[in-house]
Amino acid sequence: MKVVILKNAAEVAAYGAQIFIKTIAAKPNAVLGLATGSTPLALYKELIAARKENKVSFSQVSTFNLDEYLGLAGTHPQSYRYFMNQQLFDHIDIDKARTAVPAGDAVNPLKACAAYEAAIVAKGGVDVQLLGIGRNGHIGFNEPSSSLRSRTRVKTLTRATIEDNARFFGPDEFQPHLSLTMGIGTILESKKIVLLATGESKAEAIKATVEGPLSAACPASALQLHENVIVIVDEAAASKLSDVEFFKHIEAENQKILNKYSV
């Protein structure tokens, strides 16, 4: 697991965006795994800016989002499909037919989950999967106690996650307590995983992810099993790590190697 500690959220977004831009440059028809929430927003703004400056094209790219609320159609302002359209897809040269978000309004959500898994496989798998992380260590909507080998499925949200997301819903607005989410096992099949975290509120989760035991109590700790994970955090999110300077030293040495040798 590679841990990159940067000064602030803006640097985190810029660093993460470059990974996606370089991936597309090397493979124009790359398959990207995307995430919603507040943390990825700055990264998406970086990608939009890069597109406007003709530094990247998404014309052949395909995407799969991590999750969606069960019970919300893609046209609902609180749905993750709506979020992705508003925050990214409407502003880049991507064919929306190539963008997939779990069907929150599916008649049979169990079949929809199985179909989502099959669609990822049919595309050859995800080349780079973007993740945020919840305060309780959840990735996607894989809450604590989720199986580390879980597949795309219907998942009950914890009270903590419901409370965290309540700010996006009006006082009399229906807020779903169920979701469709890629499983941890599904996520781990991605060729590369990029996790972003900013702010002190994520510090405990990052410590558990990077240094803690492999445990369903912290779903993100399963990333320790993956051979190509980059955890990009600001100093606040890294503040609970046992040896911040150690990780900064490793990244500095890695950059020397990358500058010396072509990859």
pTM, entire model: 0.93
129 has which bridge partners?
A: 33, 193
pLDDT of residue 227: 97
The verdict on whether 177 is a catalytic residue reads no
Digit-coded pLDDT (tens) for 165-179:
787 788 878 888 899
Digit-coded pLDDT (tens) for 116-140:
999 999 999 999 999 999 999 999 9
Mean pLDDT of 2-21: 97
pLDDT of residue 263: 53
Q: What percent of the chain is modeled with pLDDT above 90?
A: 84
* Annotated catalytic residue within 46, 67, 68, 164: 67
Alpha carbon distance 255, 252 (integer Å): 5
pLDDT of residue 262: 61
Residues 6+ apart with CB under 8 A from 29: 60, 61, 62
Confidence tier at 199 by pLDDT (50, 70, 90): very high
Integer angstrom CA distances of residue 221 from 25, 100, 128:
30, 26, 18
* Annotated catalytic residue within 68, 143, 164, 234: 143
Alpha carbon distance 141, 129 (integer Å): 15
The verdict on whether 143 is a catalytic residue reads yes
Confidence tier at 258 by pLDDT (50, 70, 90): confident
Q: What is the CATH architecture of 2-260?
A: 3-Layer(aba) Sandwich (3.40)
* Annotated catalytic residue within 46, 127, 138, 164: 138
* Annotated catalytic residue within 127, 136, 142, 234: 136
Alpha carbon distance 183, 152 (integer Å): 5
The verdict on whether 253 is a catalytic residue reads no
